Amino acid sequence: MNDPPPPDDFIITMDGVDKYFGAFRALHNVTLHVRRRERIVLCGPSGSGKSTLIRCINQLEHHQAGRITFDGEEVGPHTKGLDRVRREIGMVFQSFNLFPHLTVLQNCVLAPMKVRGMAKDAAEALARALLARVRIPEQADKYPTQLSGGQQQRVAIARALCMHPKVMLFDEPTSALDPEMVKEVLDTMIGLAADDMAMLCVTHEMSFARSVAHRVVFMDQGEIVEQAPPEEFFANPRNERTRTFLGQILSQ
């Protein structure tokens, strides 16, 4: 599952990216290049800039300095084709963000029909196939409030996959779940790891990082402090801040 991606075929590049919230610098000179089909786990203490980093990729947050490209096209607040870029980037949030007045099936078919122009029958067939893949096909006609947190998050994953994205972004997808629901969502994400797309996941689930990631990136105070393949990252962290973080999180 951890076979390396192509060496020099980048789907995302971030070069010298700064992001400010007022006077607070949330990202400081961040440089990160993501290969096609590469799976990256972003970890670090709360407030280290992990979520801000991935939100800058699809411009849910606009960066003030540096350069970001997606599939060879520069993205920023004035990108004319930003909606087109966003169609190729799936995102799963920690709070699910499902439409409560729509059924599970309706949540999943909305974007393919409205954005990609897919016919209703085709969109429904795709959605049902993806709901089966995330192991909740029987929930298609229910509403989000009728599902557990873990089921809602799997719906959110299926909904993102319905757009056939080139990249999947996960922003702490298990942090809002009860402990018994975490495994079912992580198992779903592990199942996606064989797909032909890049994945960036902000998470503290180090077992997921060990089993799925090609690279683990550690952030602190808005900077990328260290990055390495998981076997190296966990066995021989080089930075003192990384060692402190791992000592705290692995002892929990």
- What string of DSSP letters covers 188-226? HHHHHTTSSSEEEEE---HHHHHHH-SEEEEEETTEEEE
6-88+167-182+195-252 to CATH, choices 3.40.1280.10, 3.30.43.10, 3.40.50.720, 3.40.50.300:
3.40.50.300
Residue ranges in 115-252 assigned as alpha helix (H): 120-133, 149-161, 179-192, 206-212, 230-235, 240-249
- Whole-number average pLDDT of the chain: 93
- Give the start-to-end residue ranges of the domains of the chain: 6-88+167-182+195-252, 98-164
pLDDT at 159: 97
CA 193, CA 103: separation in Å to the nearest integer?
Answer: 27
Burial class (CB in 10 A: 0-12, 13-18, 19+), 7: exposed
Calculate mean pLDDT across residues 213-220: 97
pLDDT digits (tens, 9 = 90+) for 165-177: 999 999 999 988 8
pLDDT digits (tens, 9 = 90+) for 132-165: 999 999 999 999 999 999 999 999 999 999 999 9
29: left (phi over 0), alpha (psi -120 to 50) or beta: left
Calculate mean pLDDT across residues 103-111: 98
For Cα atoms 149, 153, 156, give the angle at the middle one, nearest 5 degrees: 140
User: 242, 218 in Cβ contact below 8 A?
Assistant: yes
pLDDT confidence bin for 250, thresholds 50/70/90: confident
User: 212, 189 in Cβ contact below 8 A?
Assistant: yes
pLDDT at 4: 62
Calculate mean pLDDT across residues 219-235: 97
pTM flag (> 0.75):
yes
pLDDT digits (tens, 9 = 90+) for 39-93: 999 999 999 999 999 999 999 999 999 999 999 999 998 888 888 899 999 999 9
Q: Tell me which residue has tokens 């790891």.
A: 193
For Cα atoms 107, 91, 179, give the angle at the middle one, nearest 5 degrees: 85
CA 199, CA 89: separation in Å to the nearest integer?
Answer: 10
CA 186, CA 164: separation in Å to the nearest integer?
Answer: 20
Residue 118 has pLDDT above 80, yes or no: yes
C-beta neighbour count of 44 within 10 angstroms: 25
